[in-house]
Amino acid sequence: MKRPLMFKGDLSTTAMGIMPHVDVDSALELAMTMDIPFWPQLPRLSYYEDMYVQALEKFPGAIIDAERSSVHIDTQSFFDELPQYFEHEDDFEYFALSRRFSSVYRAFLEKDLSLFRSVRGQTISPVSLTLKIVDENGRPIVYNDEIRAFAFAFIQKKVNIQYRELLKKNERSFVWVDDPGLEFIFNAMCGYDNIKAKKELTEFFDGIEGVRGLHLCGRPDWDFLLTLNIEILSFNAYAFGDTFVTYDTVKKFLEEGGIISWGIVPTYYEEFTGEDLRSLAKRLEDMWGVLQKKGLDMEVIVNNSLLAPATCNLMNVDKTATVEKSFRLLNELSYFLKERYLT
Protein backbone atom coordinates (compact mmCIF):
# COMPACT_ATOMS: atom_id res chain seq x y z
CA MET A 1 0.00 0.00 0.00
CA LYS A 2 1.30 3.44 -0.97
CA ARG A 3 1.85 5.96 1.81
CA PRO A 4 0.19 9.37 1.40
CA LEU A 5 2.40 12.09 -0.04
CA MET A 6 2.40 15.57 1.47
CA PHE A 7 3.22 17.19 -1.85
CA LYS A 8 2.47 16.80 -5.56
CA GLY A 9 5.10 16.38 -8.21
CA ASP A 10 3.75 19.15 -10.46
CA LEU A 11 6.87 19.04 -12.68
CA SER A 12 9.09 20.23 -9.84
CA THR A 13 12.85 19.83 -10.09
CA THR A 14 15.29 17.80 -8.05
CA ALA A 15 18.57 16.03 -8.80
CA MET A 16 20.73 13.11 -7.79
CA GLY A 17 23.18 13.55 -4.94
CA ILE A 18 26.59 12.99 -6.55
CA MET A 19 28.18 16.15 -7.96
CA PRO A 20 31.62 16.83 -9.53
CA HIS A 21 32.35 19.89 -7.40
CA VAL A 22 35.22 20.26 -4.95
CA ASP A 23 33.89 23.52 -3.55
CA VAL A 24 31.25 22.89 -0.90
CA ASP A 25 29.55 26.26 -1.18
CA SER A 26 29.24 26.07 -4.98
CA ALA A 27 27.76 22.58 -4.84
CA LEU A 28 25.29 23.52 -2.14
CA GLU A 29 24.29 26.72 -3.93
CA LEU A 30 23.53 24.75 -7.09
CA ALA A 31 21.54 22.11 -5.19
CA MET A 32 19.45 24.87 -3.64
CA THR A 33 18.29 26.03 -7.09
CA MET A 34 16.06 22.95 -7.28
CA ASP A 35 12.38 23.05 -6.26
CA ILE A 36 13.25 20.08 -4.05
CA PRO A 37 16.81 20.72 -2.89
CA PHE A 38 19.15 18.00 -1.65
CA TRP A 39 22.54 17.77 0.03
CA PRO A 40 25.34 17.03 -2.47
CA GLN A 41 27.82 14.16 -2.25
CA LEU A 42 31.31 15.24 -3.37
CA PRO A 43 33.57 12.21 -4.00
CA ARG A 44 36.16 14.37 -5.77
CA LEU A 45 36.61 16.32 -2.56
CA SER A 46 37.22 13.30 -0.35
CA TYR A 47 37.21 9.51 -0.60
CA TYR A 48 34.95 9.48 2.45
CA GLU A 49 32.24 11.15 0.35
CA ASP A 50 32.07 8.23 -2.05
CA MET A 51 28.47 7.04 -1.62
CA TYR A 52 29.54 3.49 -0.71
CA VAL A 53 32.16 4.62 1.79
CA GLN A 54 29.85 7.29 3.19
CA ALA A 55 27.22 4.70 4.05
CA LEU A 56 29.73 2.55 5.93
CA GLU A 57 30.37 5.03 8.72
CA LYS A 58 30.04 3.01 11.97
CA PHE A 59 29.54 -0.27 10.03
CA PRO A 60 31.23 -3.05 12.07
CA GLY A 61 34.37 -4.40 10.43
CA ALA A 62 34.61 -1.66 7.79
CA ILE A 63 38.25 -1.07 6.83
CA ILE A 64 38.50 2.26 5.01
CA ASP A 65 41.87 3.17 3.51
CA ALA A 66 41.49 6.66 2.06
CA GLU A 67 45.12 6.83 0.90
CA ARG A 68 44.67 3.76 -1.29
CA SER A 69 41.01 4.51 -2.06
CA SER A 70 39.98 1.08 -0.88
CA VAL A 71 37.34 -0.27 1.46
CA HIS A 72 36.33 -3.76 2.55
CA ILE A 73 34.65 -5.58 5.41
CA ASP A 74 36.90 -7.74 7.56
CA THR A 75 34.72 -10.66 8.62
CA GLN A 76 36.36 -11.33 11.98
CA SER A 77 36.36 -7.62 12.84
CA PHE A 78 32.70 -7.46 11.88
CA PHE A 79 31.76 -10.04 14.50
CA ASP A 80 34.20 -8.64 17.05
CA GLU A 81 32.68 -5.14 16.74
CA LEU A 82 29.04 -6.21 16.83
CA PRO A 83 28.78 -5.88 20.65
CA GLN A 84 29.89 -2.24 20.43
CA TYR A 85 27.33 -1.65 17.68
CA PHE A 86 24.52 -3.09 19.81
CA GLU A 87 25.57 -0.91 22.76
CA HIS A 88 24.69 2.12 20.61
CA GLU A 89 21.86 0.56 18.60
CA ASP A 90 19.20 2.96 19.86
CA ASP A 91 21.45 6.03 19.86
CA PHE A 92 20.51 7.69 16.57
CA GLU A 93 22.98 10.55 17.08
CA TYR A 94 25.80 8.01 17.21
CA PHE A 95 24.93 6.80 13.70
CA ALA A 96 24.14 10.20 12.15
CA LEU A 97 26.21 11.26 9.15
CA SER A 98 29.28 13.17 10.37
CA ARG A 99 31.17 16.05 8.78
CA ARG A 100 34.06 13.73 8.00
CA PHE A 101 31.86 11.64 5.74
CA SER A 102 29.95 14.61 4.30
CA SER A 103 31.26 18.14 4.05
CA VAL A 104 27.84 19.39 2.98
CA TYR A 105 25.18 17.63 5.03
CA ARG A 106 25.48 19.68 8.21
CA ALA A 107 25.71 22.92 6.20
CA PHE A 108 22.53 21.88 4.39
CA LEU A 109 20.73 21.35 7.70
CA GLU A 110 21.75 24.82 8.81
CA LYS A 111 19.74 26.34 5.93
CA ASP A 112 16.13 27.46 6.24
CA LEU A 113 14.44 24.64 4.32
CA SER A 114 10.92 25.11 5.61
CA LEU A 115 9.39 26.84 2.60
CA PHE A 116 10.44 24.35 -0.09
CA ARG A 117 7.88 21.95 -1.57
CA SER A 118 10.02 19.20 -0.07
CA VAL A 119 13.67 18.47 0.69
CA ARG A 120 15.47 15.25 -0.04
CA GLY A 121 18.27 13.14 1.30
CA GLN A 122 19.85 9.98 -0.06
CA THR A 123 21.99 6.99 0.78
CA ILE A 124 23.13 3.88 -1.06
CA SER A 125 20.73 0.94 -1.27
CA PRO A 126 21.64 -2.18 0.71
CA VAL A 127 21.48 -4.19 -2.53
CA SER A 128 24.08 -2.06 -4.29
CA LEU A 129 26.17 -1.77 -1.13
CA THR A 130 26.44 -5.50 -0.58
CA LEU A 131 27.06 -6.25 -4.26
CA LYS A 132 29.91 -3.71 -4.40
CA ILE A 133 31.66 -4.04 -1.04
CA VAL A 134 33.82 -7.14 -0.57
CA ASP A 135 35.27 -9.02 2.38
CA GLU A 136 38.95 -9.69 3.09
CA ASN A 137 38.97 -12.36 0.38
CA GLY A 138 37.51 -10.12 -2.30
CA ARG A 139 34.10 -11.79 -2.14
CA PRO A 140 31.05 -9.46 -2.23
CA ILE A 141 29.37 -9.38 1.17
CA VAL A 142 26.01 -10.02 -0.49
CA TYR A 143 26.98 -13.71 -0.38
CA ASN A 144 27.46 -13.70 3.39
CA ASP A 145 23.91 -14.11 4.71
CA GLU A 146 24.67 -12.70 8.17
CA ILE A 147 26.51 -9.61 6.96
CA ARG A 148 23.96 -8.98 4.20
CA ALA A 149 21.05 -9.15 6.66
CA PHE A 150 22.90 -6.77 8.96
CA ALA A 151 23.59 -4.38 6.05
CA PHE A 152 19.89 -4.16 5.18
CA ALA A 153 19.04 -3.28 8.80
CA PHE A 154 21.99 -0.89 9.03
CA ILE A 155 21.07 1.09 5.91
CA GLN A 156 17.43 1.16 7.01
CA LYS A 157 18.62 2.79 10.26
CA LYS A 158 20.75 5.28 8.30
CA VAL A 159 17.77 6.28 6.12
CA ASN A 160 15.50 6.75 9.13
CA ILE A 161 18.06 8.82 11.03
CA GLN A 162 18.53 11.08 8.04
CA TYR A 163 14.77 11.34 7.53
CA ARG A 164 14.24 12.40 11.14
CA GLU A 165 16.91 15.09 10.85
CA LEU A 166 15.47 16.44 7.60
CA LEU A 167 11.95 16.31 8.99
CA LYS A 168 12.92 18.92 11.56
CA LYS A 169 13.73 21.27 8.68
CA ASN A 170 10.76 20.49 6.42
CA GLU A 171 7.71 18.38 7.26
CA ARG A 172 7.52 17.11 3.66
CA SER A 173 11.04 15.66 3.60
CA PHE A 174 11.95 12.26 2.25
CA VAL A 175 15.06 10.15 1.65
CA TRP A 176 15.53 7.93 -1.35
CA VAL A 177 18.03 5.13 -1.83
CA ASP A 178 20.44 5.07 -4.77
CA ASP A 179 20.63 1.67 -6.43
CA PRO A 180 23.18 1.71 -9.27
CA GLY A 181 23.88 -2.00 -8.85
CA LEU A 182 20.27 -3.19 -8.89
CA GLU A 183 20.29 -4.02 -12.60
CA PHE A 184 22.95 -6.70 -12.00
CA ILE A 185 20.62 -8.95 -10.01
CA PHE A 186 18.84 -9.73 -13.27
CA ASN A 187 22.07 -11.13 -14.73
CA ALA A 188 22.17 -14.93 -14.74
CA MET A 189 25.76 -14.75 -13.46
CA CYS A 190 24.72 -12.98 -10.25
CA GLY A 191 24.32 -15.40 -7.36
CA TYR A 192 21.96 -13.04 -5.55
CA ASP A 193 18.75 -13.43 -7.53
CA ASN A 194 15.91 -10.96 -8.01
CA ILE A 195 13.43 -13.12 -6.07
CA LYS A 196 15.48 -12.92 -2.90
CA ALA A 197 16.21 -9.25 -3.56
CA LYS A 198 12.51 -8.47 -3.97
CA LYS A 199 11.67 -10.10 -0.64
CA GLU A 200 14.50 -8.38 1.22
CA LEU A 201 13.90 -4.98 -0.38
CA THR A 202 10.20 -5.20 0.48
CA GLU A 203 11.05 -5.86 4.13
CA PHE A 204 13.61 -3.07 4.00
CA PHE A 205 11.11 -0.50 2.69
CA ASP A 206 8.47 -1.67 5.18
CA GLY A 207 10.77 -0.38 7.91
CA ILE A 208 11.50 2.97 6.27
CA GLU A 209 9.86 5.97 7.93
CA GLY A 210 8.07 8.44 5.68
CA VAL A 211 7.81 8.42 1.90
CA ARG A 212 9.91 5.69 0.29
CA GLY A 213 11.91 6.37 -2.85
CA LEU A 214 14.42 4.63 -5.10
CA HIS A 215 16.75 6.09 -7.72
CA LEU A 216 18.83 4.35 -10.34
CA CYS A 217 20.46 5.30 -13.63
CA GLY A 218 20.63 1.80 -15.10
CA ARG A 219 18.10 -0.50 -16.74
CA PRO A 220 16.64 -3.18 -14.45
CA ASP A 221 13.37 -5.05 -14.82
CA TRP A 222 10.88 -2.18 -14.65
CA ASP A 223 8.04 -4.38 -13.40
CA PHE A 224 10.29 -5.38 -10.49
CA LEU A 225 10.73 -1.74 -9.50
CA LEU A 226 7.21 -0.53 -10.12
CA THR A 227 5.70 -3.24 -7.94
CA LEU A 228 8.00 -2.52 -4.99
CA ASN A 229 6.47 -0.85 -1.91
CA ILE A 230 7.78 2.60 -2.86
CA GLU A 231 6.09 5.93 -3.58
CA ILE A 232 8.82 7.61 -5.68
CA LEU A 233 10.86 6.14 -8.52
CA SER A 234 13.67 8.16 -10.11
CA PHE A 235 15.24 6.90 -13.33
CA ASN A 236 17.18 7.85 -16.45
CA ALA A 237 14.33 8.76 -18.78
CA TYR A 238 16.70 10.24 -21.35
CA ALA A 239 18.20 6.80 -22.01
CA PHE A 240 15.38 4.42 -21.10
CA GLY A 241 12.12 6.39 -21.05
CA ASP A 242 10.88 5.19 -24.45
CA THR A 243 10.98 1.59 -23.23
CA PHE A 244 9.85 2.40 -19.70
CA VAL A 245 6.50 3.90 -20.73
CA THR A 246 5.50 0.77 -22.66
CA TYR A 247 5.10 -1.12 -19.36
CA ASP A 248 1.51 -1.27 -18.08
CA THR A 249 2.81 -1.07 -14.52
CA VAL A 250 3.87 2.54 -15.14
CA LYS A 251 0.24 3.56 -15.66
CA LYS A 252 -0.83 1.66 -12.54
CA PHE A 253 1.99 3.16 -10.45
CA LEU A 254 0.93 6.70 -11.38
CA GLU A 255 -2.79 6.02 -10.97
CA GLU A 256 -2.14 4.78 -7.44
CA GLY A 257 -0.40 8.05 -6.57
CA GLY A 258 3.22 7.10 -7.11
CA ILE A 259 5.60 9.82 -8.28
CA ILE A 260 8.05 9.33 -11.12
CA SER A 261 11.14 11.53 -11.33
CA TRP A 262 11.96 11.75 -15.04
CA GLY A 263 15.73 12.12 -15.50
CA ILE A 264 15.48 13.93 -18.80
CA VAL A 265 18.31 16.50 -19.07
CA PRO A 266 21.64 14.89 -20.02
CA THR A 267 24.76 15.84 -18.08
CA TYR A 268 27.38 14.39 -20.44
CA TYR A 269 28.88 17.09 -22.63
CA GLU A 270 28.36 15.27 -25.95
CA GLU A 271 24.69 14.54 -25.21
CA PHE A 272 23.98 17.90 -23.63
CA THR A 273 25.27 19.93 -26.57
CA GLY A 274 22.93 18.06 -28.91
CA GLU A 275 19.78 19.05 -27.00
CA ASP A 276 17.84 22.19 -26.13
CA LEU A 277 14.70 23.06 -24.21
CA ARG A 278 12.26 22.22 -27.00
CA SER A 279 13.93 18.98 -28.02
CA LEU A 280 13.83 17.72 -24.44
CA ALA A 281 10.25 18.88 -23.95
CA LYS A 282 9.23 16.96 -27.09
CA ARG A 283 11.14 13.89 -25.96
CA LEU A 284 9.33 13.90 -22.64
CA GLU A 285 5.91 14.69 -24.11
CA ASP A 286 6.30 11.81 -26.57
CA MET A 287 6.79 9.47 -23.62
CA TRP A 288 3.76 10.90 -21.86
CA GLY A 289 1.79 10.51 -25.08
CA VAL A 290 2.32 6.75 -24.90
CA LEU A 291 0.83 6.75 -21.41
CA GLN A 292 -2.11 8.85 -22.59
CA LYS A 293 -2.83 6.31 -25.32
CA LYS A 294 -3.02 3.70 -22.55
CA GLY A 295 -5.79 5.79 -20.96
CA LEU A 296 -3.80 7.79 -18.41
CA ASP A 297 -4.99 11.37 -17.99
CA MET A 298 -2.35 14.07 -18.51
CA GLU A 299 -3.37 15.70 -15.24
CA VAL A 300 -2.39 12.53 -13.39
CA ILE A 301 0.98 12.44 -15.19
CA VAL A 302 1.74 16.07 -14.40
CA ASN A 303 0.62 15.89 -10.77
CA ASN A 304 2.79 12.84 -10.20
CA SER A 305 5.96 13.84 -12.06
CA LEU A 306 9.23 15.37 -11.00
CA LEU A 307 11.97 16.43 -13.42
CA ALA A 308 15.67 15.77 -12.92
CA PRO A 309 19.01 15.48 -14.72
CA ALA A 310 19.40 12.14 -16.50
CA THR A 311 22.39 11.01 -14.44
CA CYS A 312 25.07 12.08 -12.06
CA ASN A 313 28.35 12.86 -13.81
CA LEU A 314 31.96 13.05 -12.65
CA MET A 315 33.50 12.39 -16.06
CA ASN A 316 33.27 15.58 -18.13
CA VAL A 317 36.55 17.25 -19.06
CA ASP A 318 34.94 20.60 -18.27
CA LYS A 319 34.50 19.40 -14.68
CA THR A 320 31.43 21.23 -13.32
CA ALA A 321 30.47 23.38 -16.30
CA THR A 322 28.13 21.03 -18.18
CA VAL A 323 26.51 19.79 -14.99
CA GLU A 324 25.77 23.37 -13.97
CA LYS A 325 24.34 24.12 -17.42
CA SER A 326 22.22 20.98 -17.12
CA PHE A 327 20.72 22.21 -13.86
CA ARG A 328 19.89 25.56 -15.43
CA LEU A 329 18.29 23.92 -18.46
CA LEU A 330 16.32 21.64 -16.14
CA ASN A 331 14.81 24.64 -14.38
CA GLU A 332 13.99 26.24 -17.74
CA LEU A 333 12.34 23.03 -18.91
CA SER A 334 10.31 22.82 -15.71
CA TYR A 335 9.10 26.40 -16.11
CA PHE A 336 8.26 25.79 -19.78
CA LEU A 337 6.20 22.68 -19.03
CA LYS A 338 4.52 24.20 -15.97
CA GLU A 339 3.36 27.10 -18.17
CA ARG A 340 1.92 24.58 -20.62
CA TYR A 341 0.23 22.20 -18.21
CA LEU A 342 -0.31 23.93 -14.86
CA THR A 343 -1.65 27.37 -15.83
Nearest alpha carbon to residue 213 among 253, 169, 249, 243: 253
Nearest alpha carbon to residue 231 among 252, 203, 259: 259
How far is Cα 210 from Cα 69, in angstroms, rounded to an integer?
Answer: 34
In this structure, the number of other CB atoms found within 10 A of the CB of residue 122 comes to: 25
pLDDT of residue 257: 95
pLDDT of residue 190: 85
Q: Does pLDDT of 1 surpass 80? A: no
pLDDT of residue 330: 98
The rounded Cα 298 to chain-centroid distance in angstroms is 26
CA distances from 44 to 51, 99, 133, 222 (A): 11, 15, 20, 31
Expressed in angstroms, the distance from the first to the final Cα of the chain is 32
Beta strands 62-65 and 70-73 are antiparallel
Rounded to the nearest 10 degrees, what angle do helices 248-255 and 277-293 cross at?
90
Q: Does the predicted TM-score (pTM) go above 0.85?
A: yes
Sign of CA dihedral 48, 51, 57, 61: negative
- Domain residue limits, the chain: 12-55+102-341
pLDDT-derived band at 302 (thresholds 50, 70, 90) equals: very high
Per-residue pLDDT reduced to its tens digit, 202-251: 999 999 999 999 999 999 999 999 999 999 999 999 999 999 999 999 99
- Phi and psi at 138, nearest 5°, equal 80, 15
pLDDT of residue 229: 97
pLDDT of residue 258: 97
Contact (Cβ atoms closer than 8 angstroms) between residue 161 and residue 95:
yes
SS3 call for 133: coil
Per-residue pLDDT reduced to its tens digit, 74-98: 999 999 999 999 999 989 889 999 9
Fold of the CATH domain 12-55+102-341 = TIM Barrel (3.20.20)
57, amino acid identity = E
Nearest alpha carbon to residue 314 among 54, 34, 12, 51: 51
230: CB partners within 8 A, 6+ apart: 205, 212, 213, 214, 258
281, amino acid identity = A
Around 327, how many Cα atoms within 13 Å sit in the side-chain half-sphere? 24
Q: Where are the alpha helices (DSSP H) in 168-276?
A: 194-206, 222-226, 237-244, 248-255, 269-272
Residue 140 gets which letter from DSSP? B
321, amino acid identity = A
Contact (Cβ atoms closer than 8 angstroms) between residue 259 and residue 9:
yes
Contact (Cβ atoms closer than 8 angstroms) between residue 62 and residue 56:
yes
pLDDT of residue 43: 97
Nearest alpha carbon to residue 309 among 9, 10, 15: 15
Burial status of residue 343 (CB atoms within 10 A of its CB: 0-12, 13-18, 19 or more): exposed
For 145-161, the DSSP string reads: HHHHHHHHHHHHHHHHH
